Amino acid sequence: MGARREPVNPPVDGSVNLPEILDFNLKHNAELPMFAFNQDGSDEITEISYLEFVRACDRVAHALRPQRTGEDRQVVAFIALADSVVYQAITVGLMRAGLVVCHISLWLLSCLGCIHFF
């Protein structure tokens, strides 16, 4: 395995939002890992590059809002029991689709509370 190059860092002055930071990393750091993890019981490290993650986010955005049809900034409530990478891809995909994400934690709501919430 060859030496990794140093990443190019996006501005941290508040001039870019999360989806724009991903676009920056796609342009400058596409092959570098965004996530690295190992499966339970394995020593092998799995890496997900910025390119792979941004493509996953774009697939979510297109699946939920093809061609960005409909109104921008609609609020989408989001309840999921998923691993971190999938959860983040869905969250950012919703943002890239022009939607506003409202995460709902099942840990904070009782079953009865969930019924009344909806």
How does residue 7 score in pLDDT terms, banded at 50, 70 and 90? very high
**What mean pLDDT is predicted for residues 10-25?**
94
Q: What is the pLDDT of residue 5?
A: 85
Question: What's the rounded mean pLDDT across residues 24-44?
Answer: 94
Classify domain 18-117 by CATH number: 3.40.50.980
The rounded distance, in Å, linking the Cα atoms of 59 and 49 is: 15
User: Is the pLDDT confidence value at 54 over 90?
Assistant: yes
For the chain, the structural domain boundaries read 18-117
* Per-residue confidence (pLDDT) for residue 82, from 0 to 100: 84
pLDDT tens readout for residues 56-107: 999 999 999 999 999 999 999 888 888 899 999 999 999 999 999 998 877 6
Q: Exposure pattern of 62-95 as b/e (b: 16+ CB <10 Å)? A: eeebeeeeeeeeeeeeeeeeeeebeebbbbbbbb
